[in-house]
Amino acid sequence: MGRRKNNQNSMSLNNAQHQATKICFNDDEEEENSNLDDSIVATEKAIAMDDVTMSDPNGSFVDGGDDDNTSADYYFDSYSHFGIHEEMLKDVVRTKTYQNVIFQNKFLFKDKIVLDVGAGTGILSLFCAKAGAAHVYAVECSHIANMAKEIVESNGYSNVITVLKGKIEDIELPVAKVDIIISEWMGYFLLFENMLNSVLYTRDKWLANDGIVLPDKASLYLTAIEDAEYKEDKIEFWNNVYGFDMTCIKKQAMGEPLVDTVDQNQIVTNCQLLKTMDISKMASGDTSFTVPFKLVAERDDYIHALVAYFDVSFTKCHKLMGFSTGPRSRATHWKQTVLYLEDVLTICQGEALTGSMTVAPNKKNPRDIDITIKYSLNGQRCVASRTQHYKMR
């Protein structure tokens, strides 16, 4: 899974372009929302490393020299470092939407038992506790759980929030059922890292019959873009590297989805809904699927890549709330997922690129994703048909 070298500039530009974009949360409740920055600053201070640890490449993030921090399970190791949590906390679309969902719907949380799956620094648990939850169980497998405990104590919520370190599939709660499951489980391409299955396991084991899952809906979308300049730089580069043929790497580069912010002006076709997942009802096997698509050109142009993104909804709120990670919305840390095509498709306005997308967890590492795209174009100036395989690692 690649990223563009200029991600920072790309995201900054995108943010500037979408300052006036209307997104699915409000800034109306100043009293509640003004606390977001304070919460983030307090959290960042609590997880800051001292100068000695920062200068020592072998220094452990968690005090006490816990050698488990170098375990072979890279997924959980990666979430032990404060940097990834800083990025997520500073993603205002993500964090403020969750804050508004909780603070503007306190009737959902008042005197309820809440289970926070993949709690990280505990920011969602803190929001829930402040909204009046009777108790919050914050489950986190990485070593950031130790910092979460300190953050909870520092903010005076030790009597309301219990941080439990371990995999949700392995722990035992001191209660039979919970009223609410809240989680920020979404990965790149929605399903990368496969945390959704942990949420579904939690739902089946711990959620009360009348309980709710937040968020409860997630939708995956697909569109097509013109991206000649960057495809030339990333893919065609391997044809001639200082006079040497390195095309063997080109195939690997083509099969590696790129995570980046796409300029909305690159979009050539309509954006099509591929699949909506109802987290409150779906089965774990529903994360594997094959869906058709039909992308109709909105202008004469070239197609170099397909782009996937997702929306998330909280339908149990008093008013529908949520956010989008699409290229026409304000940028998030999820960005979009770009899948380059081997063909450069010349498409005319009104012509359709049709095909199907198959998505499944990788058999060796279910946190990775295998994607297969079949596409065809029978146009006035271009006829093409191909099957391509991608691996999100």
**In this structure, what DSSP letter does residue 263 have?**
P
CA distance 183 to 138: 10
Would you call 184 a catalytic residue per the annotation? yes
Q: Which two tokens stand for residue 336?
A: 């979009």
- How many residues belong to the chain? 393
CA 265 to chain centre: 23
**Closest CA relative to residue 178, chosen from 148, 221, 209:** 209
Q: What angle do CA 357, 184, 70 make, to 5 degrees?
A: 95
Q: Answer yes or no: are the C-beta atoms of 315 and 330 closer than 8 Å.
A: no
Q: From the candidates 31, 44, 193, 298, give the one annotated as an active-site residue.
A: 193
Q: What angle do CA 9, 15, 21 make, to 5 degrees?
A: 160
Q: From the candidates 86, 150, 184, 342, give the one annotated as an active-site residue.
A: 184
Q: Answer yes or no: are the C-beta atoms of 340 and 191 closer than 8 Å.
A: no
Would you call 169 a catalytic residue per the annotation? no
Strand partners, 377: 353, 384
φ, ψ for residue 180, nearest 5 deg:
-135, 135
Active-site positions? 184, 193
